[in-house]
């Protein structure tokens, strides 16, 4: 069977794309698309042949037709099967959350309409909020996430957070309690709800149970709950354990657990209880979905309970520090609730593991994850209540590898079992631990050879000792140690020689040196290594410094005095006399040796070596003859190359010219005219007859042109549209076909620069016939670089003169039959933009706009006055940041919709917020009928910290965090999201290379800069400092440093440790402490946003619980007016 391929259109092979040699290779055909994968060797071989033939075709610039003969029918069947599969492939669409209504996803994570029950914020990830200060009712409904939908909860099922005997069910050691989860199960939230992100998510479907006990139980310290699922259908059970604080009478979180199978859960009895007092432990048992099932719970007291060992580590498992393996402990699912023996005052989640060692070793147990508190304790292996040691997290200021959580211990010699427990106050944490050997043989510190350094994670050896374990060096200070037979040893410290004075793997011993394989084979790096055993070069391909040689060039050494202009002679350390042949004179090379044919004289000059004259004459004669033959060959090759260049040029060299589209007096192309000429195809899909065309992907289409005239010359001019939105290029924009040649084939290339409306675009052409080819070329020259506006009367007069030689003229057009794929590369014409500026910063201006029917914020960068090279650098930086922002989706970060990059000025389009920035609400000069309450301010700071935590987790610095860059999503504190962060990533340092007086633009606003940022040092801690100043401004409603009259004064004040004064009447004590830590002078002393969000979440919950029902009429009126104004503006934009 024969399979014939005709490569007529598709993806341009010369373009380098990420998919060129990826796991899927696409070979396009007009009727089918063959997908070949690397997983099948036959398919990979077949596709390789396809690409080889395609490349040959593009090099030869000819129409290729090749045949592949297949002998086995099985192979053909495989190919046909894949052909069928490829025909049913569909184009991928945008991805939105499950809360988006069908057909309303306009961009990745941007939805025009969310499903019922979801917050209408274009992200559709959170359920509708409710008024936390009011009771849940039909007018103030609660929506919760159940099975990927926001379900409205019957208000009669919602119970306010209460743990009392009227609601909770009692469980005892003598009974079995059955819990049923169905449609009648109540909704409440447990004592550990603060770990959730918003007010909706904390409500779960569950049951309250309680366990009562008195302080009369001797030797009993633990209770055990056993969960047994009674039904086939089941769901993960989450358990919040809480205790009543007798001072505040509030329920506090003790422990948090989750189980998915029948399992036991243990809880230690509360410590420090009073004698003779009855105690109650409350449990809220809940689920996160809508599954209906039943579960039995039983309880019992345990005496002398010991936890199970999660991991056993043996001597054979341990590796040294750089090869240590990570142990991942899921504290939430596998941890035990204990009062740690060495840290007994705080209930924690712990994982126990044991270490067995058979020799004297130092071990290092460490965690390099930042945030939270992790501890390591060692207990007696026979008595768990006996503490052996406790290690708190350590911070090394100058160690990147072990910045946080390094813990270590020393294990004695002999078979030893050591029992450890790692525990944390974060009840849902994954703890990554590494355990490794450190400092073999204890660095032989008992004999004074060295000591073990935990900072360096290695032995630090004293003079004369070395290696991993600080043994006595066999070679030290150029001397072998006494009593050592060094005939088969290498010099310690030389390349490839280890601490035992033996060569490492891959090296061969030669004359007490370790020689690498590439040195032996003369496969050296001639920029830094020398040819083995050449002058001054050792057997290990290194220039011998002790003999007076240094590296010269091209793999050779030179005398160390070479280059000083003096011919010198000296005696080296080995007593050898070393001299130069010449130095810096005519015919002397860079190695201080005379060139070939010359010899050094007594004065250090290079003179002709006459003993080689005859050899020179014969060599010259032969060289001239050879040169003559080479010249003939070069001339022949040049003619061939010129001929090939004339046949076709590379795509990268092609350019489109402007030709005046002169159609006056010409005939429209029709079926009747096709008898005179044909241009086929006239509909161009560029190999994408079904799929949309990707942005920046160059595709091509072959076009055949025929001249049916028997005696006339034919000229075709393609009048290509001139637009930066896309590029249409012909390898021959003007085509000449003589009557003898009859036909030719040209190539049209298409590259899209944005998601523009390209389908149906016309590419006009004009066809000219004449008996004179000179007349046609004259017409071409006349029309070249001319437009309707630049066509003059003189041009028309000249055209009228030549027209008498033109026999006939026609016009027509090619039509593009492919569409652009939807992308974040936007078409500027699809954006309606207001001329009014709604915000302005150092980097540009922001306008209100409309894109696909939704309001958007359009940012135009302002780079006027900067040098061209600086503008180019900034453009590249912004384009890179756009790629990053396209991948970032978070409820507290402004959604990136796209950008316009094909214009001179880059434009970024993002989500628009009617309520503006936070700065408008804390500025006293702005008059309005309401002011932000403390709970709203705290919620806004909480949302800001969550957004910043997300950015920092993705290695992104904001660099300009301030109220102007915090957009208000809602003015109600019970909303899922009040603040979204904007303008991150596009603020970059703009240093003026032509500015005077050391001027510098950009990178942040001086009012919010950290002390180190004034010295061009930026880190995550710099954003934390800016957050502290922002928090101060939000609660004081004053501009920072108002009393200072210059930026220089502010800079000096901040760098010298000065800070804004905090009014205790406006700021809570916890927030005051947090702000003070956040603007610490030392960056290492500032907390991360993970910690900041945790503290602000607690403060927000406290304020919410004390928050009285407020009259929000003024705010609602204000929001309504804002929305009405936006609607009127959008109507104006639509007109």
Catalytic positions, please?
A: 960
Query: Can you give the three-state secondary structure of 255-298, one letter per residue?
Result: EEEEECCCEEEEEECCCCCCCCCEEEEEEEEEECCCCCEEEEEE
Query: Residue 77: what are its φ and ψ, rounded to 5°?
Result: -65, -40
692, two tokens? 């949309």
Sign for the CA dihedral angle at 852, 853, 857, 858 comes to: positive
H/E stretch holding 220 reads strand 220-229
Q: Are 783 and 849 a contacting pair, CB within 8 Å?
A: no
Q: Are 547 and 574 a contacting pair, CB within 8 Å?
A: yes
Distance CA 28, CA 39 (A): 20
Distance CA 728, CA 758 (A): 11
Distance CA 987, CA 979 (A): 20
User: How many Cα atoms sit within 13 Å of 974 on the Cβ side?
Assistant: 21
779, two tokens? 């017409």
Instruction: Give 785-832 as a DSSP string.
Output: T--TTT--HHHHHHHHHHHTTEEEEEEEEEEE---BPP-SB--GGGEE
Q: Are 769 and 712 a contacting pair, CB within 8 Å?
A: yes
Contacts of 1066 (CB under 8 A, 6+ apart): 1035, 1036
Distance CA 875, CA 427 (A): 45
Distance CA 910, CA 619 (A): 75
The torsion of the CA quartet 531, 537, 543, 549, rounded to 10 degrees, works out to -130
- Angle at which helices 934-953 and 1020-1036 cross, to 10°: 170
Contacts of 710 (CB under 8 A, 6+ apart): 739
Helices (H), 929-1019: 934-953
Q: What burial class does residue 991 get, using C-beta atoms within 10 Å of its C-beta: 0-12 exposed, 13-18 middle, 19+ buried?
A: middle
Query: Residue 267: what are its φ and ψ, rounded to 5°?
Result: -140, 125
- Angle at which helices 1020-1036 and 1069-1078 cross, to 10°: 140
Residue (of 622, 637, 584) closest to 606 by Cα position: 584
Distance CA 467, CA 461 (A): 8
CA–chain centroid gap for 518, Å, is: 38
Burial 416-427 (b: 16+ CB within 10 A, else e): bebbbbbbbebb
Q: Are 647 and 61 a contacting pair, CB within 8 Å?
A: yes
Whether the ω angle into residue 681 lies within 30 degrees of 0, i.e. cis, is: yes
Burial 125-164 (b: 16+ CB within 10 A, else e): bbbbbbbbbeebeeeeebbbbbeebbbebeeebbeeeebe
Residue (of 902, 888, 1109, 876) closest to 982 by Cα position: 888
CA distances (Å), 112 to each of 108, 128, 332, 638, 911, in order?
11, 16, 38, 62, 11
Residue located via tokens 């970032």: 888
Q: Are 23 and 37 a contacting pair, CB within 8 Å?
A: yes
């Amino acid at each position: 069977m024969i399979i014939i391929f005709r490569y007529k259109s598709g993806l341009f092979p010369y373009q380098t794309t990420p998919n060129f040699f990826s796991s899927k290779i696409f070979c396009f055909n007009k009727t089918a698309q063959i997908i070949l994968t690397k997983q099948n060797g036959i398919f990979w071989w077949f596709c390789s042949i396809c690409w080889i033939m395609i490349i040959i075709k593009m090099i030869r610039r000819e129409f290729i037709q090749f045949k592949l003969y297949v002998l086995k029918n099985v192979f053909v069947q495989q190919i046909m099967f894949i052909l069928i599969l490829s025909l049913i492939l569909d184009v991928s669409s945008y991805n939105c959350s499950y809360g988006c209504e069908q057909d309303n996803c306009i961009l990745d994570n941007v939805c025009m309409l969310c499903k019922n029950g979801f917050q209408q914020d274009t992200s559709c990830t959170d359920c509708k909020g409710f008024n936390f200060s009011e009771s849940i009712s039909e007018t103030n409904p609660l929506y919760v996430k159940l099975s990927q939908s926001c379900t409205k909860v019957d208000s009669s099922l919602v119970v306010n957070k209460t743990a009392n005997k009227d609601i909770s069910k009692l469980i005892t050691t003598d009974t079995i309690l059955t819990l049923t989860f169905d449609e009648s199960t109540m909704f409440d939230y447990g004592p550990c709800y603060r770990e959730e992100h918003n007010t909706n998510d904390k409500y779960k479907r569950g049951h309250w149970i309680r366990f009562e006990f008195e302080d009369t139980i001797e030797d009993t310290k633990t209770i055990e709950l056993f969960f047994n699922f009674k039904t086939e259908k089941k769901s993960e059970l989450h358990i919040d354990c809480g205790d009543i604080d007798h001072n505040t009478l509030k329920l506090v979180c003790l422990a948090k657990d989750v189980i998915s199978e029948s399992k036991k859960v243990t809880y230690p009895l509360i410590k420090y209880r009073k004698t003779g007092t009855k105690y109650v432990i409350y449990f809220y048992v809940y689920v996160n979905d809508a599954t209906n099932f039943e579960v039995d719970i039983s309880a019992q007291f345990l005496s002398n309970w010991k936890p199970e060992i999660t991991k056993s580590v043996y001597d054979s498992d341990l590796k040294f520090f750089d090869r240590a393996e990570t142990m991942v402990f899921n504290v939430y699912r596998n941890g035990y609730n204990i009062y740690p023996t060495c840290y007994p005052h705080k209930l924690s989640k712990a994982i126990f593991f044991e270490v067995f060692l058979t020799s004297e070793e130092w071990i290092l147990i460490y965690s390099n994850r930042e945030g939270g508190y992790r501890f390591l304790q060692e207990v007696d292996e026979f008595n768990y209540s006996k503490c052996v040691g406790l290690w708190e997290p350590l911070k090394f200021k100058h160690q990147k590898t072990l910045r946080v959580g390094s813990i270590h211990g020393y294990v004695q010699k002999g078979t030893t079992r050591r029992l450890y427990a790692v525990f944390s106050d974060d009840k849902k944490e994954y703890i990554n631990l590494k355990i490794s050997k450190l400092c073999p043989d204890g660095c032989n510190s008992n004999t004074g050879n060295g000591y073990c350094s935990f900072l360096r994670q290695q032995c630090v050896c004293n003079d004369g000792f070395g290696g991993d374990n600080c043994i006595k060096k066999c070679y030290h200070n150029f001397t072998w140690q006494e009593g050592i037979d060094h005939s088969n040893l290498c010099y310690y410290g030389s390349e490839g020689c280890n601490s035992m004075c033996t060569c490492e793997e891959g090296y061969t011993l030669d004359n007490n040196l370790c020689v690498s394989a590439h040195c032996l084979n003369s496969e050296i790096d001639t920029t830094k290594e020398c040819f083995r055993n050449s002058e001054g070069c050792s057997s290990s391909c290194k220039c011998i410094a002790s003999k007076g040689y240094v590296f010269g060039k091209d793999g050779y050494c030179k005398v160390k005095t070479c280059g000083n202009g003096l011919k010198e002679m000296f005696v080296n350390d080995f007593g050898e006399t070393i001299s130069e042949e010449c130095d810096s004179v005519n015919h002397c090379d860079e190695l201080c040796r005379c060139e070939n044919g010359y010899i050094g004289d007594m004065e250090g000059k290079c003179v002709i070596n006459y003993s080689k004259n005859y050899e020179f004459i014969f060599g010259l004669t032969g060289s001239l003859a050879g040169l003559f033959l080479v010249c003939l060959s070069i001339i022949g090759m040049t003619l061939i190359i010129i001929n090939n260049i004339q046949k076709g040029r590379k795509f990268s060299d092609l350019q489109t010219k402007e030709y005046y589209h002169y159609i006056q007096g010409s005939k429209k192309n029709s079926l009747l005219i096709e008898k005179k000429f044909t241009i086929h195809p006239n509909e161009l899909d560029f190999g994408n007859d079904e799929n949309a065309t990707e942005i920046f992907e160059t595709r091509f289409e072959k076009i055949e042109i025929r001249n049916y005239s028997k005696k006339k010359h034919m000229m075709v001019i393609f009048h290509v549209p001139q637009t930066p939105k896309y590029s249409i290029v012909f390898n021959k924009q003007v085509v000449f076909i003589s009557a003898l040649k009859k036909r030719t084939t040209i190539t049209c290339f298409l590259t899209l620069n944005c998601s523009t409306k390209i389908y149906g675009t016309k590419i006009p052409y004009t066809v000219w016939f004449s008996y004179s080819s000179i007349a046609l070329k004259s017409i071409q020259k006349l029309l070249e670089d001319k437009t309707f506006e630049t066509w003059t009367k003189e041009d028309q007069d000249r055209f009228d003169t030549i027209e008498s030689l033109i026999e006939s003229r026609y016009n027509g057009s090619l039509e593009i039959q492919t569409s652009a794929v939807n992308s974040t590369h936007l078409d500027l014409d699809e954006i309606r933009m207001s001329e009014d500026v709604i915000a302005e910063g150092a980097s540009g201006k922001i306008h209100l706009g409309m894109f696909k029917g939704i309001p958007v914020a359009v940012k135009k960068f302002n780079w006027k006055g900067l040098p061209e090279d600086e503008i180019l650098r900034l453009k590249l930086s912004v384009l890179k940041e756009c790629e990053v922002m396209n991948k970032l989706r978070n409820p507290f970060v402004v959604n990136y919709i796209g950008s316009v990059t094909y214009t001179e000025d880059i434009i970024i389009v993002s989500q628009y917020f009617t309520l503006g920035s936070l700065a408008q609400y804390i500025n006293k000069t702005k008059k309005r009928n309401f002011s932000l309450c403390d709970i709203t301010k705290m919620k806004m700071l909480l949302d800001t910290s969550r957004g910043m935590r997300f950015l920092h987790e993705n290695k992104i610095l904001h660099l300009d965090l301030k109220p102007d860059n915090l957009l208000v999503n809602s003015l109600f504190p019970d909303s899922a999201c009040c603040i979204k962060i904007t303008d991150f990533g596009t603020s970059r340092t703009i240093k003026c290379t032509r500015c005077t007086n050391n001027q510098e633009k950009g990178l942040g606003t001086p009012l919010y800069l950290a002390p180190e940022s004034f010295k061009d040092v930026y880190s995550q801690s710099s954003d934390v400092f800016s957050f502290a100043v922002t928090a101060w401004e939000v609660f004081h409603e004053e501009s920072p440093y108002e009393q200072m009259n210059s930026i220089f004064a502010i800079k000096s004040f901040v760098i010298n440790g000065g800070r804004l004064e905090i009014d205790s009447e406006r700021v809570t004590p916890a927030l005051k402490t947090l702000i003070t830590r956040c603007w610490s002078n030392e960056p290492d002393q500032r907390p991360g946003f993970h910690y900041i969000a945790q503290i602000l979440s607690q403060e927000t919950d406290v304020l919410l619980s004390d928050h009285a029902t407020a009259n929000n009429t003024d705010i609602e009126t204000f929001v309504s007016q804002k929305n009405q104004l936006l609607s009127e503006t959008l109507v104006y934009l639509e007109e």
